[in-house]
Amino acid sequence: MPTELSTSRAIFDRARRVTPAGVHSNARARDPHPRYFARAEGAYLWDADGRRVLDLVMGNGAVVLGHGHPAVTESVQRAVARGLTCGVEWERAVEAAEAFLRCVPGMDLVRFANTGTEAVTHALHVARHATGRRRLAKVEGSYHGWTDELYVSAFPDPDEAGDPKAPRPVPGGPGLDPRVVADVLVLPFNDEEGTRALLEAHAHELAAVVLEPVLIDAGFIPATPGYLRLLRELTRKHGIVLIFDEILTGFRLAPGGAAERYGVTPDLATYGKAMANGYPIAALAGREELMRSTEPGRGPAYVGTFNGHAVSLAAAVATLPLLADGSLQSELARRTARLRRSFAALAREAGVPAVLAGDGGHFQWYFVEGPVADYRQAARSDPERCRRFTASLEAADMLVARNPIAHHALSLAHGEAELAAIEEAFREALRRARA
């Protein structure tokens, strides 16, 4: 990060007096201080000092059309002018649900929420009610939010995680209930033999299996088609609810997300991020009999003052039709493939063992030999090479995540000029990573 960001420094000095670390998500904390931003447009941000930055984070993948997309902004402005915000229903909620279900094949009904954490929590309540069972199984390296039973083995230290074929549940941080953490069954991602053994042994206890079909919070690690088919086969055989967390994969890999891409339909799925081009929203969708159980008096509660927030729904109504025909996804896939090819050639030229993984506009660099198939391989990414690489990109005025296990994103606004700038920045950053 450039050292002359005096306004950001001054804002940080104020912020840390009233806010821990001066930020409202720990992922935004930086040393010596965070960078504070004033506005955004297209693929760019302008910081508090007026410096333009090419955004390679894009709201953790939420901003799929580009910052300030005119159709979304106009829809939001119309909603704001009506004065509605929260706590009531309005017709645009129906329009948003209809637009959602047109995009996502295999889902019968949908209900909106605010965050992925909320949506996955609702999904677990539905699964427990439907099965009469208690326990949850999740895959290692899959992130589903920060509740006690979900923030488990998302980013574990491999030295604490035990046998790769039967991972030990590791809390995501202090403060989680250790009894809840210990009760979670952790599955080895992309290991069909190990996963089959664990599920067969514990099937009678399990209400749900939940996973990201692509581990995007660990960078970009796709499931093998056989792995997802195995999960579908075993959960159906044993009456376990299969839940796909499509908060990140939804609307980017295909209009219907990873379920459409892989041809494997879960019982329930959660969505968010790209659905409203950066406005706060999430959704739970799934089979009718499961979703109907959340109706009043029939099963689990489904409540929330800000559910179906008018402004977020207005953004979704404008965004979803632009994601429906698959053309945006095809274009993002093409641009991501270009960056992957360029990165591979530049890494070979620089003599740096590294790979860029990605699709649908999501991408991440790993400083390891060969492809990455699971979380533990990703965790071997060389942190020092990554530090030098990301420092070089920051010096070129690009917003990136510094963590070696993170994820980055393009939007439709990242055109030819932006892709060329990224490729040129990769060249220099890989040269510095080699040192």
Answer yes or no: 237 catalytic: no
Q: What is the DSSP string of 340-364?
A: HHHHHHHHHHHT---EEEEETTEEE
Dihedral sign from CA coordinates of 294, 295, 298, 303: positive
Q: Which residues contact 158 (CB under 8 A, 6 or more apart)?
A: 376, 379
Angle at 117 between CA 256 and CA 56, to 5 degrees: 65
| Phi and psi based region of residue 132 (left: phi greater than 0; alpha: psi -120 to 50; beta: remaining) | left
Q: What three-state secondary structure class fits 280?
A: coil
How many helices (H) and strands (E) the chain has is answered by: 14, 16
Instruction: Specify whether 143 is catalytic.
Output: yes
Catalytic residue among 245, 267, 359, 374: 245
The rounded distance, in Å, linking the Cα atoms of 97 and 412 is 24
Identify whether 49 is a catalytic site residue. Answer: no
Burial class (CB in 10 A: 0-12, 13-18, 19+), 3: exposed
- Measured in degrees and rounded to the nearest 5, phi and psi for residue 69 equal -60, 130
Cβ–Cβ under 8 Å, residues 268 and 285: yes
DSSP state of 133: -
Please identify which of the residues 36, 44, 143, 279 carries the catalytic annotation. Answer: 143
Residue type, 186: V
Number of residues written out for the chain: 435
Residues serving a catalytic function are 143, 245, 273
